[in-house]
Amino acid sequence: MSSLSERRPQSGTRVHTGDGGAKAPPTSVVGPIAWLRQNLFRSTSDTLLTLLLGALLIAGGVSFFSWVVSQANWYAINFNLRGLMVGRFQPEFEWRLLVLLVLTCIAVGLALAAWTRIRRWFPVAVAVIIALLYLIPQAINALIPLPPTYLTAGQITFGSGPTAESPQDRIAFIARAGETVSLRMAGEYSGDLAALRTLHSFGDDITGRLLNTANLRMTTQARAAEIEALLAGNAITESQRALLTAEQGRLVIPEDILDEAQVNQQPVTVRILDGATLEPLVEGVLDANSRPISVVLPADGWYVIEKVVEAEGSIALIESFGVYPILERGITRRGESGAVERVDQFVRMTDTYTSEAIRPEFDGREIPFAVITDFQYRGDHSFADYLRLFVDPFLAMLATPALVVSLAVVGGYLIGRVLDRVFPNPVRPRAASGRVATWALALLPLLMFFLVYGLGDILPLTDPRTWGGLLLTILLTTWGIVLSLPLGILLALGRRSNAGVPLSPLIRFRWGAREIRFQPKLPIVSLLCSAYIELVRGVPFITVLFMAQLLLPLINPSLADFPGAFRATIATVLFSAAYLAETIRGGLQAIPPGQEEAAKAVGLNSWQITLNITLPQALRIVIPAIMGSFVALFKDTSLVTIVGLLDLTGMADNINAQTEFLGLRRETLMFISIIYFVFCWGMAAVSRRIETTGAGSALKRQI
């Protein structure tokens, strides 16, 4: 037995008062893993659907990225960016567009100061992006050299008849002073057809024939081996065997082009000549074992390469650095005397170096130059070539405009902040910036019109026929919105006037001691507005455009001189107003009738009720629908290209019609699709902002 003096262990609940520290919630409840489980992998069907869509997106993304980098030719964008932006706008008035861009960005900055809150990371991110636009091209230029250009020489003819081609003995090119041009024989492609098949860089037409012939021979050989293996086995049916046997009989394997043309088996004599005097700067003989021949060019302008192979039936493949394709274009401008003159410009494709020097001649005939239609990029681009040839010049063109836009927006934002501090308002801290931003945005369409078109003797008038590209698209959209919205409001009110509201006036008169009030209906106004709305909504937009462009001059010949851009704007306004009228009418019908009755009871007339009570609420209700109509209007402006106006889509089609850029429709359509998406996304973002923080939030708080 235990004694009473022994202490027994105490039992019961123990309370710990110490703080063990807060623990992080499990990752299965919060965080990215929890979000994935909740939204993408909630059930078996969700998991399967997620995996399927993920596989499709990855496959499509990889294929799209491969096309963008290795196959797409973005020269159509880099060399036509001005046309895509402003069309054929007169160069002497381009400063107006720069002023308009700066004023627009200042107005945007004022709006940001008045109605948004900029987070601290946002200006830092913008500054980093601007810095990268300047630094990335410099890094690419420093780390990635330009690809070579392959030239052919020899006394050999490929093909027969109209398609027969021979290497050119002389080729002209443009270069800057101080640049180095080097030539060497491309011996790595002499005896290996598989190596020749991998050639990827600029090359003349004969280089393209060599590459295509090598591809065709190796592809045909692979197919012949595949058919032979199938016929040797027993895994095919008799009908399949018959088809394969017939295909085998039709296969013709081309000759080995390396042996047939004796590629790089004979030496070639080369000389680099001054384009103006045709005096040799350097000359020498190249073979498979010789060192490259190089020369530092003394001045800007034209130079000529002479290349001769003495042996007949042989061809030499020469790798050159410093010789690149050229785009020829003719421009019209005013000379120093004021007379209009046409000038031929030659632009180097790799860096937009431009020369207006006269082409060199030999024996009274102009020497062929490395034109882009003949000296195309052969094979698939490497990623390094993609960065050097396309990304580098595109970012370089964007850097300065992006800097100007950013500084203008920052300037407008700072102006708004200063106004709020100079004119404080204890009730509304941003009242001053809000008023200035409202006036700036209201006056912006007028400034846009006067700066683009002109203002009498103050600003000379421009030719509307030269408007095009994104400029014309924005003009049509802006004026379509500014004019169609009030017209749509009037049409909506007019259509509802048959119900006694709201256009018809309230008539009052006294009958003895009684005051009699009544509001007459306006059936004629309602009928006309309804007929207009239904008529316009019942025909396609392109029909309205054709009527404005073609039928009006037939009705009144004096309208033939009226600019087509203005006629397209009027057609856009009339068409868009009909759709907006129905949208606004739906918002008016959503207002409870008790509000109008209460307003009448306190003595308000019909116009006061409409302007102060029903219309503001109706517009708030239909903000999403109105912005949807504006987005559709922005995209529908692309239809004006059918009636001869060169808007953004019209300029893309015009680029694709140029000889230098034939077959590049996918690239131009991809680029303008990105532009359309950015603007539409921006309009949708503004709409969401208005709904959450602007007029739309007032209705939300009221409800």
**Does residue 501 carry a pLDDT above 70?**
no
- In DSSP notation, 295-328 reads EE--SSEEEEEEEE--SBT-EEEEEEES---EEE
Count of other CB atoms within 10 angstroms of residue 114: 23
Per-residue pLDDT band at 8 (split at 50, 70, 90): low
Domain count, the chain: 2
At residue 701, the pLDDT reads: 46
Closest CA to 283 of 274, 580, 55: 274
Q: Which of 339, 359, 374 is the last residue of a domain?
A: 374
Count of other CB atoms within 10 angstroms of residue 167: 25
What are the tens digits of pLDDT across the range 320-357? 999 999 998 888 777 666 677 788 899 999 888 999 99
- Beta 340-348 vs 326-334: how paired, if at all? antiparallel
Closest CA to 197 of 217, 180, 211: 211
Q: Are residues 229 and 368 in the same domain?
A: yes
Task: Evaluate whether residue 419 is within a structural domain.
Answer: no
Per-residue pLDDT band at 388 (split at 50, 70, 90): very high
Sign of CA dihedral 106, 90, 481, 627: negative
Tokens found for residue 200: 């990827």
Q: Are residues 342 and 481 in the same domain?
A: no
At residue 700, the pLDDT reads: 46
What is the pLDDT averaged over residues 134-138? 94
At residue 340, the pLDDT reads: 73
Residues, the chain: 703
At residue 575, the pLDDT reads: 93
Q: Are residues 579 and 474 in the same domain?
A: yes
Task: Evaluate whether residue 503 is within a structural domain.
Answer: yes
Task: Evaluate whether residue 499 is within a structural domain.
Answer: yes
375-389, 516-530, 689-703, range with the lowest pLDDT: 689-703
**Does residue 402 carry a pLDDT above 60?**
yes
Q: Are residues 503 and 366 in the same domain?
A: no
**Does residue 458 carry a pLDDT above 80?**
yes
At residue 699, the pLDDT reads: 43
- Looking at the chain, the whole-number percentage of residues with pLDDT higher than 90 is 52
At residue 261, the pLDDT reads: 85
Mean pLDDT score of the chain, rounded to an integer?
Answer: 86
Task: Evaluate whether residue 664 is within a structural domain.
Answer: yes
At residue 500, the pLDDT reads: 47
340-344, 437-441, 510-514, 572-576, range with the lowest pLDDT: 510-514
- Alpha-carbon distance 685 to 677, whole Å? 12
At residue 96, the pLDDT reads: 94
What are the tens digits of pLDDT across the range 217-253? 999 999 999 999 999 888 888 899 999 999 999 998 8
- Beta 149-154 vs 201-203: how paired, if at all? parallel
**Does residue 275 carry a pLDDT above 50?**
yes
1-10, 187-196, 242-251, range with the lowest pLDDT: 1-10
The radius of gyration of the chain's CA atoms, rounded to the nearest angstrom, is: 36
What are the tens digits of pLDDT across the range 86-114? 999 988 899 999 999 999 999 999 999 98
What is the pLDDT averaged over residues 132-140? 94
- Alpha-carbon distance 693 to 430, whole Å? 13
- Alpha-carbon distance 417 to 411, whole Å? 10
Q: Which amino acid is present at 66?
A: S
Count of other CB atoms within 10 angstroms of residue 676: 19
Cβ-Cβ contacts under 8 Å for 369 (sequence gap 6 or more): 171, 172, 173, 174, 302, 326, 328, 346, 359
What is the pLDDT averaged over residues 603-610? 79
Domain that holds residue 696: 463-702
**Between residues 496 and 635, the one the model is more confident about:** 635
What are the tens digits of pLDDT across the range 658-668? 888 888 899 99
What is the pLDDT averaged over residues 177-196? 89
Q: Are residues 368 and 498 in the same domain?
A: no
Q: Are residues 515 and 657 in the same domain?
A: yes
Q: Are residues 352 and 242 in the same domain?
A: yes
Tell me the residue ranges of DSSP E strands in 91-230: 149-154, 170-175, 180-185, 201-203
Task: Evaluate whether residue 366 is within a structural domain.
Answer: yes
Q: Are residues 473 and 368 in the same domain?
A: no
**Does residue 308 carry a pLDDT above 80?**
yes
The CATH number assigned to the domain holding 479 equals 1.10.3720.10
Q: Are residues 485 and 590 in the same domain?
A: yes
